[in-house]
Copies of this chain bind each other. A is one copy, B any other.
Amino acid sequence: MQDLSTSPPQLQSIDKAIVDAILSARIQPGARLNENQLATLFSVSRTRVREAMMRLEARCIVTVSPRRGWFVAEPSAEEARHVYGARRIVEYGLLRSMPALSEADRAALHQHLEEERQAIAAGDRQRLTCLMGDFHIRLAEIAGNPVLREVLRDLTARTILISLLYQSEFHALQSHEGHCAIVTALEAGEPEAAAALAIQHLDEVEEGLDLTRRPDPLADLRRSLQPDLEAGLSSLSSMPFTNHR
């Protein structure tokens, strides 16, 4: 994503910037979104920031605590289950009804898988998180239904927040292999098989969550006080979103 502070304050760029920050895991669930700070950051008035927040709230991506502030959503364990349930249903149906892949589709998917491989090799976890979610959105794009694409885009954003809250361990390789299997099935002209694999894939990912643990209210404090293990990476994306409530 481009540098926020220099980007022109185009319409809906605020929404996009925040969603992008979530999709690439540069912004944590529960992070405070201060209206004034965002306004100065985007060189607009609070009015437009608030409008963006309203839109994002309608998409369950941020929540408002009255007279206290806006926060990136922190899906509950129950909500997490529902989001995965919804994804299973949507992606199953999507893949099952998938038309035969065009040459361009195949190339795009292979390109994507290649990027996943590179991110794994480089150990670039932020990029990986982004790619892992994007894979499913690309499938929706190929399926050619923009309505479901929008639905999946929001579900993916929420999924990433869920991962950040509950993921005990991230089996990047396993997920990548799941994606490969889905692509292979699609190429073989077996959408039913691809759909079944998608369910299996989502099951595996959900399996990797620890939905019993309550979100740690001290998480961001803990992170801040710990020696910065990924200093090189995180300093690259110096987002001014504060995580401290």
Q: Which residues of A contact B (CB under 8 A)?
A: 50-51, 54-60, 79, 82-83, 85-86, 88-90, 92-94, 97, 145-148, 150-151, 155
Chain B: CB-nearest residue to A56 = B58
Some 28 contacts from A to B, beta carbons below 8 A apart, are A51-B51, A54-B54, A55-B57, A56-B58, A58-B58, A58-B59, A60-B150, A82-B145, A82-B146, A83-B147, A85-B97, A85-B145, A85-B147, A85-B148, A86-B145, A86-B148, A86-B151, A88-B97, A89-B89, A89-B93, A89-B94, A89-B97, A89-B148, A90-B93, A92-B93, A93-B93, A147-B155, A151-B151
Counting every copy of the chain, the complex holds 2
Chain B hits for A88, CB < 8 A: 93, 97
Chain B nearest Cβ from A160, distance in angstroms: 15
**Chain B residues within 8 Å of A57, by CB:** 55
